[in-house]
A = this chain, B = another copy of it.
Amino acid sequence: MANSRFEYVKDFEQPDGLLPNTWIVVRIDGRGFHKLSNHYQFIKPNDRRALDLMNAAAVEVMKELPDLCIAYGVSDEFSFVFHPSCQLFERRNAKIVTTIVSTFTAYYIHKWAEFFPSTPLKPPYLPSFDGRAVIYPSSAILRDYMSWRQVDCHINNLYNTTFWTMVQQGGMSNTDAEQELKGTVSSDKNEILFKRFGINYNNEEEIYKKGSVLYRQFELQEPKVAQSEEEGSAVPQAETSRSQQDKLKRLRRKAQVVVDHIDIIKDDFWLRRPWILSGKPGKLPGVPA
């Protein structure tokens, strides 16, 4: 019994390869995490266990997909970044996005008990994530994307820290706190925190203020004045032979994935870790060249 009579339905599958030589960012978001965080009584404004769980799941995604060169997480969202030279799954959009979303979900669920030992998961409140891929044509724009997320982290965290301090320590109602914060700028919030509650926002934990940056650890380099970048160089991807690519992949697998809470808006982070933008693994720390 051949299947040929029905096989024509495969023709309806449309190709979805992402444009070559562009940065691929897959951003995933928790679905209904507002409700979920209430249900499992996440601590406000930041639940360290929840963030550590996010990071733990993201580290596993990075380890499973050596093509990933950096990831950035804040709150219930995570951005995973592939280098322009990435050929994973022939750059098929759905394949890339669903693999990340599913792997992340699997680890998030599997590791839940490790981070919330006394709060078991209970359907229908199972955490899940949606995601999408966006491509960026240059390193400069990719960096602006990363900056966008980190600025967002800062804006939201300053707001949430002030709001919840007013509510939790100041005894205000949610509505009153919200009302008072309407229209304020950063300096206003800093002042509220400091004058009323003696809190210096600068002393808050870095993970809350900066979010979490994940990358593979090679030896840091002295920041140099930007050497004429090779960006967008026209070297065809095919040129990097498969065996060469496999070698790079092995090197990446060997590097440790670290979780950092650090400024990624200024140049310093990128200049010291040139392997992230170049896509070429650096020297493993402690390994003689």
Residues of chain A whose beta carbon lies under 8 Å from any beta carbon of chain B: 1, 3, 5-17, 19-22, 28, 31, 60, 63-64, 84, 93-95, 97-99, 101-103, 105-110, 121, 123-124, 126-141, 143-145, 147-148, 151-152, 154-155, 185-186, 226, 228-229, 231-234, 236-239
Contacts and interface: CB of A to CB of B under 8 A. Distances in A.
B236 A138 contact: no
Given A7-B148, A126-B103, A144-B8, A21 B98 contact: no
A117 to B, nearest CB: 16
B31 A84 contact: no
A218 to B, nearest CB: 22
Nearest to A156: B3
Given A6-B147, A152-B3, A155-B1, A106 B128 contact: yes
B12 A98 contact: no
Nearest to A6: B148
Given A106-B109, A130-B102, A12 B19 contact: yes
B102 A128 contact: yes
A94 B152 CA distance: 23
A233 B140 contact: yes
A144 B101 CA distance: 30
A8 B102 contact: no
A202 B216 CA distance: 54
A138 B121 CA distance: 40
Nearest to A109: B109
A124 B232 CA distance: 35
B1 A186 contact: yes
Contact of A145 (B9, B16, B106): B9
Given A94-B131, A130-B99, A6 B106 contact: no
Given A7-B148, A110-B126, A151-B1, A136 B12 contact: yes
B109 A110 contact: yes
A223 to B, nearest CB: 16
Given A8-B236, A31-B102, A94-B130, 11 more contacts: A12-B135, A13-B132, A14-B15, A15-B15, A19-B19, A28-B98, A93-B94, A98-B101, A102-B130, A105-B105, A141-B232
A130 to B, nearest CB: 4
Contacts of A110: 109, 121, 123, 126
